[in-house]
A = this chain, B = another copy of it.
Amino acid sequence: MTSILVCDDSPLARETLRRAVATVPGVDRVTTASSGEEVLRRWTADRADLVLMDVRMPGLGGVETVRRLVSSDPTARVVMLTMAEDLDGVALAVASGARGYLHKDASRAELRATVSQALADPTWRLAPRRLRPAEVGSAPTLTAREIQVLEGMSHGRSNAEIGRDLFLSEDTVKTHARRLFKKLGASDRAHAVALGFRWGLVR
């Protein structure tokens, strides 16, 4: 019985990670958490053999979570997930007890290899390394205007109505819509709204 706990505040990234590690041989349980607080709260009742934790999270944040987790349970194994931006965060995390880290744009294969490795060797620690292809990805950054347009869509407003709401021409709304579709990789407004919810961009 090998279990993995995935902790990320982005629902979409969480799902992606969950699916990816679920395919690692020997892993038969993957649980998820959306915050560091949740991990700490559930740890005693719901231990896992390996934790994958995002560095950047609202509330406690990945680094502090790892610190608290490892100090309460030194046998806990954590691999941090990070982006290029927060290398200092990784250093802190490793100093705080994380076994290593993975860039969020690591390939699925690299992710799986790292997880296998970490599970096979309890003493394993990852040497710092950088990985390439975008596989997990991070939340697209929409501009304030694009968010506003996306929110309008999520409330069932037409482009013309959104335009009236925001004092813009319908054509301008369409331009914002097209740009946010491209950023999100959405094929239409319904898809965009769904991705907005999954990325936590709208509520």
Chain A residues close to B by CB (< 8 Å) = 11, 37, 41, 153-158, 186-194, 197-198, 202-203
Contacts and interface: CB of A to CB of B under 8 A. Distances in A.
Contact of A187 (B156, B188, B192, B194): B156
The quantity of this chain's copies bound in the complex is 2
Contact of A190 (B37, B156, B203): B156
- Majority DSSP secondary structure for residues of A touching B: helix
A154 B203 contact: no
Q: Which 4 A-B pairs have the closest CB atoms?
A: A156-B191, A156-B187, A154-B194, A189-B190
B41 A191 contact: no
B190 A192 contact: yes
A149 to B, nearest CB: 11
A156 B188 contact: yes
A36 to B, nearest CB: 13
A157 B188 CA distance: 8
Given A189-B190, A191-B193, 17 more contacts: A153-B190, A154-B194, A155-B191, A156-B186, A156-B187, A156-B190, A156-B194, A157-B187, A158-B188, A188-B189, A189-B189, A190-B192, A190-B193, A193-B193, A193-B197, A194-B202, A198-B203
